[in-house]
Structure 1
Amino acid sequence: KYLADIVLVRNSKNTASLHEIDADAELLDEDESYAIATPAPATLFGVTVAEGNATDAEGNTYAIDPTFAAIPEGDAEAWKLTGYVLADDNDKPVIYLTASQAIDRVALPVITPAEAAFLDKTTVSITCATEGAAIEYSLDGGKTWNPYTGAFDATASGEILARATADDMLPSHEARTEVVREYLSGDVTITVDEQEAVTVITINGPAGAAIYYSLDGAAEKLYNGPLTLTNDTQAVINGQIKAYALESGKRPGAESVRDYQIKFKPEVTGIDGVGADQEAGSVRVEGNSI
């Protein structure tokens, strides 16, 4: 039986897999692992084989006869083999090689972003260092593959897989990355109730969310209920409050900003319309005296 472009792929120092490239060559099952045994000190990879055999998963032994061509020297990952199979005197198959050529593997594709968290969408691009390689990608764990023709948008969380192929080379390994869609927490509403000498600030946000606030640039605090601000001076106090919500599993929400005032309580002089230490028309009041 003729072997057309069978590929021998190194799995470890002493094991390999035989893969079919030509669809018409149906000798060995694709991806079936073969244990390689060779006389010491020779090994199959990197050294000319004087004698050897391959044993499949069922215990069947296949002699590899290097009479026609030996496995080439070098540290290649795989070789493309050509040859044929004949039965020996015990009716066991013997592999005769007529040609063997070391082949390279297509470079691992690079997925950008390598990993990313995004809000609405993220743009995904895939490149491969092997010139002329055809790239394809999968968004469902490898169940279906799509040809990569250019950057595309990912709008949901999940794993992105990519692989590449090129003529006369082993397919690349699969590259993979995870993208995560995140969501913003809801908005907050700040209500300011300005009374005489007292200002009450109330903050409302999404149900169950933690709300954080800062008064006039001070350190953030967790909001636990209405804030009552008082004024014991005789001047208006101006300030600013900032607040945002943080829901479980989400990013902080948009920051809400609101200016506020705390009015003061005028001192009483007993004179209608005239406060203490103030001028009204031509009348000046100091303390409780005119």
Structure 2
Amino acid sequence: MLRLLTSVMVLILFMAMIAGCFADDDTATVALSSSQTLEIEGNLPNLNAPVLNSTADHAAGIGNSDKYSFSVIDKDTNVEIGTVIANGNSFKATIGILNMNLCPVINVKESKSGRIIYSALFGKIPSASELPAAVKTLKISGISIDAMTTARALIALENKISITETLFTVSTSEVQAGTFIKNYNGQKTAIDNHLETKIIGSDNVNEFAKAVTAVATILTSSNISDNVKNTIAPSITNATQLLTAFVKLAKANDGVLKAVMTANHTANEISLSKIRICSDTDDQTMATIIAKLNVIEKVDNPSFTPDTGTYTQSQNVTITCQTTGAAIYYTLDGTTPTASSALYTGALNVSTTSTIKVIVIKPGMLDSYVVTAAYTINIPVQQAATPVFSIAAGTYAATQSVEITCATPNAKIYYTLDGTAPTSSSTLYSGTLSVSITSTIKAIAIKTGMANSDIAMANYTINIPALQVAKPVFSVLAGTYTTAQTLTITCATPGAIIYYSTNGSDPSNSLLIYTASITIATDMTLKAIAKKAGYIDSSIESADYKVSAPTTPFTLSSTGLTNLGALPSKYAKANANVSPAFTWGTPPAGTKSLMLVCVDDNGTPTNSMADFIQWGIYNIPPTATGLAEGIAKGATVTSGVLSSGSAAQAMNDYGNTGYDGPDPSAGAARTYAFQLYALNVEPNIPVGANKATILPIIISNVIAGTNLTVFYQK
């Protein structure tokens, strides 16, 4: 049915496009409907132009004035593809997704004259076939319609630019509850960046936006008469008409008009493609300007390898450009490169600090921007290797014999033992140092013609300790046991007293003195320490013990059903049609979720997809021990999982979500199997899944299974 509706919408759109080609108006309108909907929300420009007499229209915002109308059309067909609702300074456009790519353009027009005040071009949107089936609503926010978007849109539309950049892409993982959300937060879209960097140029867009602002200020001002507005801008539907209106505006001598322009600080001249446009601009210059608006793609900017930065050795710098067939020109003296500069033919060896400036040129395209890369080359004086101590710094219980070496041949090592920095006037190292007390050794290596080494330092703490009591020993190893254990504690130091704790606390301050064996009947963290006068206390021995009963076998049972017995009639679809109660044993290790299915086990044995699914309940936590009788129908289960937890139910082969008991035709008894599976997948399978989804999950992820079989006959 969804495919049929989508096909019908495509046909309606096609017919509307044909009708639009013959309509008197500039746009055709078609009512679109789709199971997938795109919503674009954002901000409209403020009508904050100072006026000689303040009006309510300006205070209310552009979206609350009947002077303006809003439309969303497809760029390539000029057909209206949705609706726009405006309120104050915000808007929301709603567009139906079809089995074809649309390229939305939102226009803000004067209701009376049809002049475009503001516009925005959003890029291509995916077709229904390019979207995940799970997505129903796509919400794009943070979009602004302003002078910049109008400049880009009018120039791009007049020059019939082919749009390949998409407004967004969607992956299944980004869809939550059927909704995809993307917030641009006022950032530029992909088509905005493409138009500015590769097609029109950011300078031209910024300058053209000034003209948009100036013209829009006059057209939305309540102080300017309709006659003046019509003289300045009889019609605005493209870039040429807006630019012509701007020139008229710059030349006008109307006092009120100039007062409004002055109050709003609007531009009275701009520069497009390096041509100045102002009150002196004549028709011939205008023709040149309009010709300059023809779109020419810009060469990609060059890139450098390695990146700019500071290096300690010479660098072979390669320069690349993604534009095929483009020529790279460069300078090394800081001047701006041109087509007369050095032609790049291979890697540049940079052995001294240099600034490389590069431009990329290709006939028929705009030159790239000039890109600068600065390389600082600091090749340091060779330095003597840092001395190395044969024994690492640390705390020791005996005298240490420390040797000092240096990897630089013939370097002399000088050292101090008092923590001061060594110099060539310090003690010259000549052999092994005996460190019998706590000391700080600092050493430096010096060789003529080389920079002195870094200073090496090592702190040696010498603590020759008293004897220490031996660590206590437990007769039972830490671990898990199914029966109580009897444990003894021993110490190899004669006369030592053993203190212990059974709750994991520090035994050093415990009042429990070990005198007899300890019985471990429950979970316990046992810690012990041995003490003896004149000795250092032993280190603490610790062990965790768990005592638990054996786990029950992973089998399925029911209080209402008997394996290989008859199914009670209340569980049949034609009667009470309630799900039976079940309990089961401990799942095997590695189980992450459980799934219980009931199948009419009379299908093709070699093809599980042929079995009739009566019930499927899954996403059951591995800690669950059973299900209560009469689980409520519905995709989500919030009660009935024992002893606690939630689950999800599949769509059975009756087309219902939840349990539906047997309903066979009259005749011989049929076999029904309740099958419980332990799975190694997390309990996050989508709710309401069908047989085609859950059976492959069982096959691919089952760890263990158990079943209970019954018979039923009408």
TM > 0.5 fold call: no
TM-score normalised by length of structure 2: 0.20
Q: Which structure would you say has the larger Rg?
A: 2
Report the structure, 1 or 2, having the larger strand content: 1
Which structure has more helix as a fraction of its residues?
2
Q: Which has the higher contact order (CA 8 A, sep 6+)?
A: 1
